[in-house]
Amino acid sequence: MPGNDEAVTGNDEEVATNAVGVAGPKAVVYVEVNSNDFANVGKYSLSTGQPLFDIGIIFAANINYNTSTQSAYLHFNTQVTNVLNNRATTIQPVQAKGIKVLLSILGNHQGAGICNFPSQAAAQAFAQELANAVNTYGLDGIDFDDEYSDYGTNGTGQPNASSFVYLVTALRNLLPNKIISFYYYGPATSRLSYNGVTVGSKVNYSWNAIYGTWSVPNVPGLTAANLGPAAVNITSTSSSTAASLATQTKNNNYGIYLTYNLPNNDVSGYLSNISNVLYSQPTVYNGGTGTTGVKFYQHINYGGTATSSIPKGNYTLAQLQAYGFVDNWASSLQVPAGWTVIMYTNNNWTGTSWTLTANNANFTALSPTANDVVTSVRIQ
């Protein structure tokens, strides 16, 4: 994952219900809060109104190292601190929609990480710090990410066999009804059992860490329902790859689909490539500005690039282009309830026309076909 500074077993039904409210894998999203607003997690829904995301993850808090006491401690940078301290506007509105909010924990180039606690007592002490944070800020759990630790720095030890098992065991005892997840990456991936105790018996979920790929995390104790082999970076993984990975997830009955790097701008068109496969519904964005409008999509089933929301009015091609519309390009659209859209093949509201009063997922099904021929519109 780029950037920095940032017991219950796999049977998770009671600690992490499906926020989407429909059958299908849980959608998980990481937000780089150094540059993006965590509250955006709650602005995405399916067309029927249920939240798109089941789990939102604050990326990230750090494991720092105190050279005087020779111990690891939990550190929040300025941006993470702002998210936590302003939870009434950043976290609680997301949770109010049924979405679980986790805090990601990773190293900070100081030699401390989840894999080199020198003793069970040291792991227990850090687990207590994590539990305190979850309880203080009203979070729903912790996500572990074994990156950026630079093991050995400041005279710290190298990864050992017991550290991660001790850590998740202690945290599970402290937080029996919260979510613990594991971003499948780093030395921790080969240190998942110790003295007969497995990490998979203590965590709820694990997911692939390499974006744009399909890879099943090898975490003994977790079933397909608790694993996410598909991982995408919203801002860099192609739409076709995102859709293909969604198809693999659904066809192979895996329970998690991981997305990373939710930006501040509207990416509902991209996310629709995923949700159309997983839930048979497009993704809708509510930016919270009170602006409502029509959205055109590049592909059928609300796929590909999308326009921004277009309010009521009469639009020539030049006027539509200001909203991201492309001539002879649209293949589907979403229409707010009670609105009417009249589409024309030519500029200035001439040529063949179609009148639509509801969402239309496939312009090729109109008679005559309206696919890739719309140039101007009236929205009433």
With vertex at residue 81, the alpha carbon angle to CA 80 and CA 87, rounded to the nearest 5 degrees, is 90
Does a cis peptide bond (omega within 30 degrees of 0) precede residue 242?
no
Instruction: Name the token pair of 39.
Output: 């509250």
> Is residue 317 a contact partner of residue 374, using CB atoms and an 8 Å limit?
no
User: Rounded to two decimals, what is the model's pTM?
Assistant: 0.76
Q: What is the pLDDT of residue 175?
A: 98
Place of tokens 């009148």: 355
> Is residue 230 a contact partner of residue 252, using CB atoms and an 8 Å limit?
no
Q: What share of the chain is helix, strand, coil (3-state, %, to 5)?
A: 25, 30, 45
Q: What is the pLDDT of residue 286?
A: 81
Catalytic positions, written as ranges: 147
| Crossing angle of the two packed helices 268-279 and 239-251, in degrees rounded to 10 | 20
Give CA–CA dist 247/257, Å, rounded. 10
Instruction: Name the token pair of 57.
Output: 């993850």
From first to last of the 380 residues of the chain, give the pLDDT tens digit: 433 333 333 333 334 334 445 678 999 999 999 999 999 999 998 877 789 999 999 999 999 999 999 999 999 999 999 999 999 999 998 998 899 999 999 999 999 999 999 999 999 999 999 999 999 999 999 999 999 999 999 999 999 999 999 999 999 999 999 999 999 999 999 999 999 999 999 999 999 999 999 999 999 999 999 999 999 999 999 999 999 999 999 999 999 999 999 999 889 889 999 999 999 888 888 865 444 689 999 999 888 888 888 888 889 998 898 788 999 999 999 888 889 999 999 999 999 999 999 999 999 999 999 999 999 999 99
Q: What is the 3-state secondary structure (H, E, C) of 279-325?
A: HCCCEEECCCCCCCCEEEEEEHHHEEEECCCECCEEECHHHHHCCCC
Phi and psi, residue 40, nearest 5°: -60, -25
Domain assignments of the chain as residue spans, ordered by start:
26-285, 295-379
Q: What is the pLDDT of residue 22?
A: 62
Query: Closest Cα partner for 354 from 376, 338, 334, 327?
Result: 376
Alpha helix segments (H runs only) across the chain: 78-85, 87-90, 92-95, 120-137, 163-174, 239-251, 268-279, 317-321
All residues at 6 or more sequence positions from 251 whose CB lies less than 8 Å from its CB, including other chains: none
CATH of the structural domain 26-285, one choice from 3.40.50.40, 3.40.30.10, 3.20.20.80, 3.30.160.620: 3.20.20.80
Q: What is the pLDDT of residue 322?
A: 78
Q: May I ask the CATH class of domain 295-379?
A: mainly beta
